[in-house]
A = this chain, B = another copy of it.
């Protein structure tokens, strides 16, 4: 349970909000690289952290992300002509480069100096992996580029997607670090989804619905360990790293690719749920790629031409009560991603955390909130750089492992929880 002011502190991410300022300390995913597929392609409207922006790729392949609206009279640059090294407003021909700098005002003499004074707010936009990342904070505190393993492995080993989610980022993220709901909500999919099925660990997941949680801090966030019973008195551990503010990796299953997420605020009542699958040591197989592109695993199918899930609030997520009754899906909703989004969106745009009743399996959620709260106030009050900014914090991995009861995961798995190029991951 949170007091209302704490709920607001953690959920509001506009330019003036404390959490908004904290989000602006990080590199965050802004677009899929596929959204700007070639030089001089159409610009793309992007809303992030409540700011309306335009993304484009100029004639030289440079990426730009800047205010959506022309500095002249406020026309949306989405209608702009992307040509010859800049994006040109179609109203009076003002032109901007990828830094937001105005480089042409046709009505004014070139030597008037007017053009040089016009500059749109712009943010860096860089391609790392399949994703275009931005940093929306003050120039002086811009950190080095992100180093999440999924984004740095060779491209044939990784796949990313995003989907629109109609709720605040925090309740989506809380679902991501809450390993206990897998035994319920996703139970129907563990043995059927091509990107989940067949792993030995699935059986422990389904058999033990009362996991014990052990949550351990690391420099960039938390390791949320969920312990279930395995055979012979041993424990099946699933360890979910959470890196501040909104990165998680789901513990792996057998030799399947590892998946994970970001939840990036669009505004305070919607977010982009980013999902990736990668394999640390091999290319994704054709079968895997086909499944990923078909929206299996943690990905989804879309309304054509959009990143809006096909199963969404307007159609009650295509719930199938017969499938629910027969247990083919636990909630009647198909697909792991939509199972999550349907419930998270059902809580309302921003869930009222003054009314909740948390239990021991919510320890990961509770500690993440505490860590967020501490970091957001330390930044606000003392200018302290929050955990997760340093790329060293990104180099982590999720783990699933069976251990004898006397072993603590944080000791035994120390190495396994670190990303390392070419090193196989630890997965049961």
Contacts beyond the supplied A76-B343, A79-B343, A106-B184: 13 A-B pairs with Cβ under 8 Å = A71-B357, A74-B355, A75-B346, A75-B347, A76-B346, A76-B347, A79-B331, A80-B331, A90-B184, A91-B343, A92-B185, A107-B209, A114-B359
Question: A82-102, CB under 8 A of B: which get 1 and which 0?
Answer: 000000001111000000000
Contact of A346 (CB < 8 Å), options: B78, B118, B339, B344 = B78
Question: With an 8 A cutoff between CB atoms, is A298 at the interface?
Answer: no
A76–B118 Cα distance when bound, in Å, is: 49
Cβ contacts under 8 Å, A92 to chain B: 180-181, 184-185, 361
Question: A309-349, CB under 8 A of B: which get 1 and which 0?
Answer: 00000000001010011000011110000010011101110
Given A92-B184, A181-B91, the answer on whether A361 and B324 have CB atoms closer than 8 Å is: no
Which chain B residue shows the least CB distance to A72? B357
A40–B352 Cα distance when bound, in Å, is: 29
Cβ contacts under 8 Å, A360 to chain B: 107-108
Q: How far is the CB of A363 from chain B (nearest CB, A)?
A: 11
Query: How many residues on the A side are at the interface (Cβ–Cβ under 8 A)?
Result: 59
CB pair B75 A343 closer than 8 Å: yes
Q: How far is the CB of A75 from chain B (nearest CB, A)?
A: 5
Cβ contacts under 8 Å, A185 to chain B: 90-92
Q: Which residues of A contact B (CB under 8 A)?
A: 40, 42, 69, 71-76, 78-81, 90-93, 105-109, 114, 118, 171, 174, 180-181, 183-185, 209-211, 319, 321, 324-325, 330-333, 339, 342-344, 346-348, 351-352, 355-362
CB pair B348 A74 closer than 8 Å: yes
Cβ contacts under 8 Å, A351 to chain B: 73-74
Instruction: Pull 15 A–B residue pairs with CB atoms less than 8 Å apart, ordered by A.
Output: A40-B325, A73-B351, A75-B343, A76-B347, A79-B333, A79-B343, A90-B185, A90-B330, A90-B339, A90-B343, A91-B185, A106-B183, A106-B209, A107-B210, A118-B357
Cβ contacts under 8 Å, A346 to chain B: 75-76, 78-79
CB pair B347 A93 closer than 8 Å: no
CB pair B78 A180 closer than 8 Å: no
Cβ contacts under 8 Å, A73 to chain B: 171, 174, 347, 351, 356, 358, 362
Cβ contacts under 8 Å, A69 to chain B: 347, 355
A342–B358 Cα distance when bound, in Å, is: 47
A108–B361 Cα distance when bound, in Å, is: 9
A135–B245 Cα distance when bound, in Å, is: 46
Cβ contacts under 8 Å, A81 to chain B: 324, 330-331
Cβ contacts under 8 Å, A90 to chain B: 184-185, 330-331, 339, 343
Across the A-B interface, give the 7 residue pairs with the lowest CB-CB distance, nearest first: A76-B346, A90-B331, A74-B347, A107-B361, A93-B184, A74-B351, A75-B343
A79–B76 Cα distance when bound, in Å, is: 40
A42–B316 Cα distance when bound, in Å, is: 13
Which chain B residue shows the least CB distance to A351? B74
Which chain B residue shows the least CB distance to A355? B74
Which chain B residue shows the least CB distance to A175? B91
Which chain B residue shows the least CB distance to A361? B107
Given A81-B330, A118-B357, the answer on whether A107 and B74 have CB atoms closer than 8 Å is: no
A313–B211 Cα distance when bound, in Å, is: 50
A74–B118 Cα distance when bound, in Å, is: 48
CB pair B91 A184 closer than 8 Å: yes
